[in-house]
Amino acid sequence: MRALLAAALLAVGCSAPDGAAADLGARDQAIPTGLTLTVGAGARPMAAYYSIYVAPLSESGTQQVELLVTAIDPAYACGAPPAGLDAVTFSFLARLPGVDSDGVFARSGPTLAGTSGAAGTAQLTAVDDRFEGADGGAIFVGAGGSVSGEVHYQLAPGVRLDGAFTAPHCPALDFAAAA
């Protein structure tokens, strides 16, 4: 279910939630990475952003917060709809260095949307996510911050994402699931 919700978010983009700053004029720019998407014999660079996913409260009353890292076509500018751009998002259940991804959270775009396999690793090596909390549908993250890591993932036969990344926060990709 969460993958479907995230895929919808990637497909249509989003706006700032009620109560959150709507000023996306001071967008963080993707930091050049060593991420490369290889499709067949062709390779192209990918940018990376991090965001926060907040799951609904569980029966125990705890809220699950996941860190998401999205590798996306470098043509993407945080805040703009990513429609038509290749993107793959990895989820991390803990926001700590050394944590491995829980797996592929979502995929979109002309090449990646149709892929379904996934084998490999995605690991965080440094985390300064500045997550402050969530209230209702609003997610609060302090200015600045970034996360770094490495990805080595086979997304489908002949489709591979490899390399190191440093990803700034993109509030347009934050997502709070409804209960």
Report the pLDDT value the prediction gives residue 30, as an integer from 0 to 100.
Answer: 56
Q: Rounded to whole angstroms, how far apart are CA atoms 106 and 132? A: 24
For the chain, the structural domain boundaries read 2-18+32-176
Report the pLDDT value the prediction gives residue 124, as an integer from 0 to 100.
Answer: 97
Backbone angles phi, psi at 135, to 5 degrees: -140, 110
Q: Rounded to whole angstroms, how far apart are CA atoms 103 and 6? A: 13
Which pTM does this prediction carry? Answer: 0.80
Mean pLDDT of the chain: 82
Report the pLDDT value the prediction gives residue 55, as an integer from 0 to 100.
Answer: 84
Report the pLDDT averaged over residues 7-18. 38
Report the pLDDT value the prediction gives residue 58, as an integer from 0 to 100.
Answer: 67
Q: Is 132 left (phi over 0), alpha (psi -120 to 50) or beta?
A: alpha
Query: 18-22, 24-28, 89-93, 137-141: lowest mean pLDDT where?
Result: 18-22
Beta bridge partners of 139: 134
Report the pLDDT value the prediction gives residue 3, as an integer from 0 to 100.
Answer: 42
DSSP 49-79: EEEEEEPPP-TTS---EEEEEEEE-TT--TT
pLDDT in tens, 143-175: 989 999 999 999 999 999 999 999 999 999 999
| Closest listed residue to residue 110, CA positions, set 88, 85, 89, 90 | 85
Query: Is residue 2's pLDDT more than 60?
Result: no
Report the pLDDT averaged over residues 106-118. 90
Q: Is 91 in contact with 68 (CB distance < 8 Å)?
A: yes
pLDDT in tens, 57-90: 667 667 788 999 999 999 999 988 778 899 999 9
Report the pLDDT value the prediction gives residue 33, as an integer from 0 to 100.
Answer: 63
Residues in the chain: 179
Per-residue DSSP letter, 173: G
Report the pLDDT averaged over residues 108-123. 91
Report the pLDDT value the prediction gives residue 8, as an integer from 0 to 100.
Answer: 39
